[in-house]
Amino acid sequence: MSFIWIVLLLIVVCIIAGILLMRVRGKRIHLPRVWAVAAIAVIVCVGATVGFLGIYSHAEPEALACMNGSDTVTVERDGKTIRFDGPGESVAIIFYPGGKVEAEAYAPLLLMLAESGADCFLMEMPFRLAFMRQNAADDVLGHYDYDAFIMMGQSLGGVSASGYAAAHPERIDGIVMLAAYPIKQMPEGMKYLSLLGDRDGVIKRSNYEKGRAYWPKDAAEMVIEGGNHAQFGCYGRQKGDGEALISADEQQRAAAERIIEWIREM
C-alpha cells in the first residue's frame, strides 16, 4: 500500500503545482482547467509508475529449470506461494525475494535448502516489491504445521522479512538476511543469521553497519569470499554490483550449507 500512497501523493502535488502556476501567471482558476491539469497529472504519474514497475530482473534459464524440482523435492504453486517440499518435515523457510526481481530467480538456492531438509516457501509479491505484501507469510503460517518457521529474504525482501519477524516473535523462530539489514530492533532470543558477499557493490555498507545495532545479541554472520549481491539469486548482473570471483552456484551452495548448519545449531 505504501507505493500506492506515493503515487497518489505525486498526483496531488502535480495538481497543486498546476493550480499555483496558473495563479502565478495571473490567470483565473477555471474548473475545466483544473480538471485538465488533474488528468495530465494522472496520465504522467500512471505512465511513470507503469514504466518503473515494468522494468525488473528476470529469472535466468538455470533458475527456471529448478522449478521442476528434483528426485527429492517437489515444487508446487498455490496462488502466490511456491512450495519446495523436500524430505524434511520440521523446519520451513519463508522467503521474500529482492526488490524488482522475479521470484523464480531464487529457485536454485531454495531447491538446495529443501534437498537438505528445510522446506521452502517462495512468496510472489505484487509488482515484485515485498513491502507491498509484507504479511505474505500469513498464508504459510495459517495453513502449514512445522516445528519451526524461519523468515528469509534478499536485499529489500530481507528488510520486509525482518519487519514481519520483528512484529511476530511468537510465530517466527529465526531470520536469515541475504545482503540485507534490519531497520528495526529484532527480538532478543530470535535466532539471526546474516550472509553477505565481500564483493557486494549494491548494499550500502554504512547502513549495514548501522543495522548491527538491531541484531539480537547472539546473531551470527558469514561473509562469503568472492560473492556479490546478485548471486544469491540467478537474475544476471545488477547495476553497481561488484564483480564476483566465484560462480552463482558456488555462492548459493556456500549460503545453503551455512544456513543448514545454522538451523541444526538452533
> In this structure, which amino acid lies at residue 129?
L
pLDDT tens digits, one per residue of 49-81: 444 455 769 999 999 999 999 999 999 998 899
Q: Within 10 Å of residue 115's Cβ, how many Cβ atoms?
A: 19
CB-based contact 229:241 (threshold 8 Å): yes
Query: What cell numbers appear for 21 in the block?
Result: 502556476
> In this structure, which amino acid lies at residue 261?
E
pLDDT tens digits, one per residue of 6-60: 555 666 666 665 555 555 555 555 556 555 555 565 555 554 444 445 576 999 9
Record the pTM.
0.82
